[in-house]
Amino acid sequence: MEKIEHKMVAVNGLNMHVAELGQGPIVLFIHGFPELWYSWRHQMVYLAERGYRAVAPDLRGYGDTTGAPLNEPAKFSIFHLVGDLVALLEAIDPNEDNVFVVAHDWGAIIAWNLCLFRPDKVKALVNLSVHFFQRNPHMNFVEGFKALYGEDHYIPRFQVPGEIEAEFAPYGAKAVLKKFLTYRDPAPFYFPKGRGLDAIPDAPAALSSWLSEEELDYYASKFEKTGFTSAVNYYRALPLDWELTAPWTGAQVKVPTKFITSEFDLVYHIPGAKEYIHNGGFKKDVPLLEEVVVIEGAAHFVNQERPDEINKHIYDFIQKF
């Protein structure tokens, strides 16, 4: 871990913090919510030891990346997020045609769209937790989740600027992060108004076995500095994303892909998700999908909970190319 290098790279109007380790073909790691480059610490070391250059940025508005306009959710659109990464790749290695991409959660959403918008940039993709969502021409993502789960579901609850931040504030960043990162229930997140974090049951253990106090403190130290607004802005931009991605309705992801999910991942338990993933819908939308893996006994943050298994799954796939 101590060998990981940190640098700032000017990309797309941001000062992007990038963690890097190793020499060789680039593997770009894209983190999710509410995470950081640090979520990939185990994978970076493993792949660097096997001849790859692991590159993990703090995404727009996260961690030590600065320059994102905090109070403008429209500046967190999927086009900004993909654009940041295309610019980053150009900045760190203008001679490399395409790279391996490994992504989780919100990072997976960004990665699917990177493959839609710029398939020339991606040699192969390993996506964790969030399967491809084909654009629904009749209803945006937020309205879709409201229809499925009601107004108290976290995605609808994240929409009003300042509201969820005010509910999180009394708890402090560490308590908020602990609730999210140790969540192991396949049921969805609900935030009924006025109940804040108390609506989410505590994880059974004091901390999940994979997340030490020291590791949680690292996350907390960054979110104490940035707050949660930028991270939540990704959700606030979803209706805009839906409008802007109309040209890609029905488009396929044509990049060699491996998908990994977990038995207790809440995304895997969205109504219809398992049928889509296993019964042909996913393969139709992602024709170069080579493998789907379900990690038994694991929950949403699988790359941190089961690093050894995930490391091997990533390596086994990318070393074929």
CA distances for 261 relative to 211, 214, 299, 310, angstroms: 19, 26, 8, 10
Active site residues: 105, 235, 300
pLDDT score for 209: 82
Query: What Rg, from alpha-carbon coordinates, does the chain have?
Result: 18
pLDDT score for 198: 84
Task: Put residue 72 in one of left, alpha, beta given phi > 0 → left and psi -120 to 50 → alpha.
Answer: beta
Cα 1 to its chain centre, rounded Å, is 21
pLDDT score for 197: 85
The CA-CA-CA angle for residues 277, 295, 31, to 5°, reads 80
For the entire predicted model, the pTM comes to 0.97
pLDDT score for 207: 65
Residue type, 318: I
Six-digit token string for 291: 């493998």
pLDDT score for 200: 83
Q: Does CATH place domain 5-319 in 3.30.1300.10?
A: no
Nearest-CA neighbor of 99 among 118, 83, 80? Answer: 118
Give the span between the Cα atoms of 47 and 314, in whole angstroms.
Answer: 9
pLDDT score for 302: 97
Which burial class, exposed, middle or buried, applies to 171 when counting CB atoms under 10 A from its CB (0-12, 13-18, 19+)? middle
Dihedral angle over CA of 57, 59, 61, 63, nearest 10: -40
pLDDT score for 205: 64
Name residue, tokens 């805009």. Answer: 240
Sequence ranges of the domains in the chain: 5-319
pLDDT score for 8: 98
Q: How many CB atoms lie within 10 A of CB 98?
A: 17
Contact 142, 239 (CB under 8 A): yes
Give the span between the Cα atoms of 77 and 242, in whole angstroms.
Answer: 10
Phi, psi (rounded to 5 degrees) for 302: -70, -30
Give the span between the Cα atoms of 33 and 39, in whole angstroms.
Answer: 10
Give the span between the Cα atoms of 32 and 303, in whole angstroms.
Answer: 11
Helix, strand, coil proportions of the chain in percent (round to 5)? 45, 15, 40
pLDDT score for 138: 97
CA distances for 47 relative to 19, 109, 237, angstroms: 14, 23, 33
Ordered per-residue pLDDT tens for the chain, 321 residues: 789 999 999 999 999 999 999 999 999 999 999 999 999 999 999 999 999 999 999 999 999 999 999 999 999 999 999 999 999 999 999 999 999 999 999 999 999 999 999 999 999 999 999 999 999 999 999 999 999 999 999 999 999 999 999 999 999 999 999 999 999 889 888 999 888 788 887 766 656 789 999 999 999 999 999 999 999 999 999 999 999 999 999 999 999 999 999 999 999 999 999 999 999 999 999 999 999 999 999 999 999 999 999 999 999 999 999
